[in-house]
Amino acid sequence: MVVIAFLNIACKQETFEEPLVSLKDYQIEDGFELQAVASEPYIEAPVAMDFDNKGRMWVVEMKGYMQNLEGTGSDMPNGTISILEDWDEDGITDHSKVFLDSLVLPRAIAHVYGGLLYAEPPNLWFVDIKDDKPINRVLVDSLYSDGGNVEHQPNGLMMHMDNWIYNAKSNFRYQKKHGQWKKEPTAFRGQWGISKDNFGRLYYNTNSTQLIGDYVLPNTVIKNPFYKPTEALDKKLTPNQNVFPLHPTSVNRGYVDGILDKDSLLVNVTSACGPLIYRGDKFPKAYLENAFVCAPEANVVKRNILTIMPSKVTANQAIPNKEFIASTDEGFRPVNLFNGPDGNMYIVDMHRGIIQDKAFLTPYLQKKYAEKKLDTIIGMGRILKVVSKGNHSKENIDLESLNISELVNLLKHPNGWLRDRAQQLLIHKNERSAIKLLEKLLENTGNPIAQIHALHTLNGLNALQFNTLLKLLYSNSHSSSISHGLVLLEQFASEAQVLPFEKLIQKLVSKNNPEIDLYLLNSLGDWISLSNEKFFPVALALSKKYQDDLVYQESLISSLRGVEESFLSFLNEKNADASKNKLFDILNKTISNKEKQKKNFIYTGKSIGTDARTAGYNIFRNFCATCHGIEGEGIENLAPPLKDSEYVTDSSERLALIILHGLSGPIHVNGTLYELDAIMPGLANNPEFSDTDIKNIIEYLNNAFPGNSTKISVERIKQLRDKKPKSGTVFSEAELLELKGLK
469-507 tens-digit pLDDT = 999 999 999 999 999 999 999 999 999 999 999 999 999
Other Cβ atoms less than 10 A from the Cβ of 208: the count is 12
Q: Are 34 and 346 in contact (CB under 8 A)?
A: no
- Model confidence at 147, pLDDT cuts 50, 70, 90, reads low
Among 10, 42, 37, 8, CA closest to 21:
37
Q: Find the helix packing angle between 434-441 and 448-460, rounded to 10°.
A: 150
pLDDT at 613: 67
Task: Taking residues 591-601, report their average pLDDT.
Answer: 93
Q: Which of 1-15, 420-434, 625-639 has the lowest mean pLDDT?
A: 1-15
Percentage of residues in the chain having pLDDT higher than 90 = 69
Q: Are 641 and 722 in contact (CB under 8 A)?
A: no
Taking the C-alpha atoms of residue 191 and residue 469, their distance in angstroms, rounded to an integer, is: 36
pLDDT at 687: 74
Residue boundaries of the structural domains of the chain: 4-388, 399-546+557-567, 612-738
The whole-model pTM stands at 0.85
Task: Taking residues 532-537, report their average pLDDT.
Answer: 96
pLDDT at 10: 35
Q: Are 527 and 490 in contact (CB under 8 A)?
A: yes
Domain 399-546+557-567 is found in CATH 1.25.10: yes
Domain 4-388 is found in CATH 2.40.170.20: no
Mean pLDDT score across all residues of the chain = 90
pLDDT at 233: 97
Is pLDDT at 4 greater than 60 in this prediction? no
Superfamily the domain 612-738 falls into = Cytochrome c-like domain (1.10.760.10)
DSSP state of 45: S
Task: Taking residues 318-335, report their average pLDDT.
Answer: 97
Give per-residue burial for 102-118: e unless 16+ CB within 10 Å, then b. ebebbbbbbbbbebbbb
pLDDT at 8: 36
DSSP state of 263: T
Which residues does 665 contact at the CB level (< 8 Å), separation at least 6? Answer: 674, 675, 676, 677, 678, 679, 733
pLDDT at 155: 96
Is there a common fold for 4-388 and 399-546+557-567? no
Beta strand 79-85 with 672-674 is unpaired
Q: Are 193 and 274 in contact (CB under 8 A)?
A: yes
Task: Taking residues 396-400, report their average pLDDT.
Answer: 85
- Higher-confidence position of 217 and 364: 217
Taking the C-alpha atoms of residue 332 and residue 301, their distance in angstroms, rounded to an integer, is: 10
Task: Taking residues 704-728, report their average pLDDT.
Answer: 84
Taking the C-alpha atoms of residue 612 and residue 696, their distance in angstroms, rounded to an integer, is: 5
Task: Taking residues 106-126, report their average pLDDT.
Answer: 97
Q: Which of 23-32, 504-513, 659-668 has the lowest mean pLDDT?
A: 659-668
Task: Taking residues 641-645, report their average pLDDT.
Answer: 85
Q: Is 4 helix (H, G, I), strand (E, B) or coil?
A: strand
- Higher-confidence position of 567 and 574: 567
Q: Are 275 and 298 in contact (CB under 8 A)?
A: no
Give per-residue burial for 33-60: e unless 16+ CB within 10 Å, then b. ebebbbbbebbbbbbbbbbbbebebbbb
Task: Taking residues 303-327, report their average pLDDT.
Answer: 98
- Residue 262 has, within 13 A of its CA and on its CB side, a CA count of 0
Q: How far from each other are the two terminal CA atoms of the chain, in whole angstroms?
A: 47
Taking the C-alpha atoms of residue 304 and residue 297, their distance in angstroms, rounded to an integer, is: 18
Omega prior to 218 cis, within 30 of 0 = no
